[in-house]
Structure 1
């Protein structure tokens, strides 16, 4: 048999191009994640929901900016806009987070991802960065629209424009904090199941079912309990951080002297979610 065996050259060539390594793989995953978040490169059905959310949020920003320009009435400032739209962003992350991680788990492609040179931490970092960027764009772009309307209609010239810049930049940072929190919690929940419908429902439940706890604690007679009530809900937690760092905001409640506590818990919650996510995927990668 060996004397009659023949090796046929059918024209395949060795790859001689640049080998880009882990950085390029992570970058490609981030870009792919952003495309998935907004349905780019996918069917029209996949584009409907994310662009509907984007259209609604941007439409609200246009209305708020127009009312301010025409009637000089501030319905929502930049920070309040992020707080108000965060309820709609919950639905966005509930749909997108399972698309980013649950689909990979269910389709069985994770062993391919975790073959060299990609590591579990790289995979998590790329998915996290993609979702953070997507959520920040959903809040930051409409805030930019509000800024442009205000800047072009101000009566104070460049002085008014710089005043708007001073309001916009902290609001962008605040929106980034919202994005990091949304991404960390939703990705952790979505990573626990390969079924996207279950993951989406669990994400919504975690955000919405904890909010009534805040309302109950606000009714207690103790003022300290009222000030600490926001610690029981991720939604109110970030609002509490905003009250601490941006005291000009007025959501109708107060954190009192416990602002640093809100900041510590927010950081701890985000870090804890990311560490649990890393442990989850290290376990998956080792299978």
Structure 2
């Protein structure tokens, strides 16, 4: 008896299309500028722990609290004695050691977490240039550091403006002192952010990144001390180039003069090498930024 053909017993394929409610997106399509802005705002929020756990807020706001208390104390003392204890630029110098630790904690949060968790391919799968990612993170850290130093300076200014005995003339003079201080705070922010973010971007482990940032800023200080005691006067005056912190201070001494130091610079003499310090600061920021961009061009997507 002949067997039935295969076609006769094979079931006829059937299928059903289900409408599960997906709709085509018809809203506005945002571009590169909006993506950059979103990354920048997210980075700025991350720097101060917004949108994260309470534990992540402890250190950033502890630093903010310390610098704010110092600024309030300086304003209160000035209101009592009638003269400034420290200028705005001197305040930025005095708080620089806190800025180092702030960068050491925040920079790894901005970049090392993304490297370790492997989310960069998701970022780069969108129309987002790699340079935009790095520059948005850098700009967020610069802004956070500038706010960290500039916010307390504004409190000092308000205290001085409300207690001045010279009326509007005193307020105007105080404003003229504040503006260089804010610019000097911006210099600290740009130098520290560019160097710190570059170091943090080299590893996905936050502990290693934090240790590397602290090492770069603090371990270079003994080099300055060694160069400053050499018998060569030129070596003494150029010693500050060996560390980012003293480099910024050298630029400040050259550009701000009496607003930063009174009379003789004392421990740190830069002689006539002020323009050299300024050029070195520009080259340091440009070099660190270029290396940061090169780093993200090599990150696997």
**Is 1:100–2:106 an aligned residue pair?**
no
RMSD of aligned alpha carbons? 1.3
**Is 1:265–2:280 an aligned residue pair?**
yes
Q: Return the alpha-carbon distance in structure 2 between the equivalents of residues 158 and 267 of structure 1.
A: 37
**Is 1:48–2:58 an aligned residue pair?**
yes
Q: Return the alpha-carbon distance in structure 1 between the equivalents of residues 202 and 71 of structure 2.
A: 35
Q: Return the alpha-carbon distance in structure 2 between the equivalents of residues 226 and 70 of structure 1.
A: 40
| Number of equivalenced pairs | 286
Q: Which residue of 2 aligns with 1:169?
A: 179
| CA offsets 1:117-143 (integer angstroms, 9 cap, x no match) | 101110011100100000000000000
Matches within 5 A, 1:111-260: 111-248=121-258, 249-250=260-261, 252=266, 253-260=268-275
Q: Return the alpha-carbon distance in structure 2 between the equivalents of residues 90 and 25 of structure 1.
A: 29
Q: Which runs of 4+ in 1 moved over 3 A?
A: none
Larger Rg: 2
Pick which of 65-74 and 169-178 moved more.
65-74
Give the TM-score, by structure 1 length: 0.97
Q: Return the alpha-carbon distance in structure 2 between the equivalents of residues 8 and 105 of structure 1.
A: 40
Q: Return the alpha-carbon distance in structure 2 between the equivalents of residues 157 and 240 of structure 1.
A: 34
| CA offsets 1:137-161 (integer angstroms, 9 cap, x no match) | 0000000000000111111111110
Matches within 5 A, 1:4-23: 4-23=14-33
Q: Return the alpha-carbon distance in structure 2 between the equivalents of residues 27 and 278 of structure 1.
A: 18
Q: Return the alpha-carbon distance in structure 2 between the equivalents of residues 2 and 147 of structure 1.
A: 84
Q: Which residue of 1 aligns with 2:3?
A: none
Q: Which residue of 1 aligns with 2:293?
A: 278
Q: Which residue of 2 aligns with 1:59?
A: 69
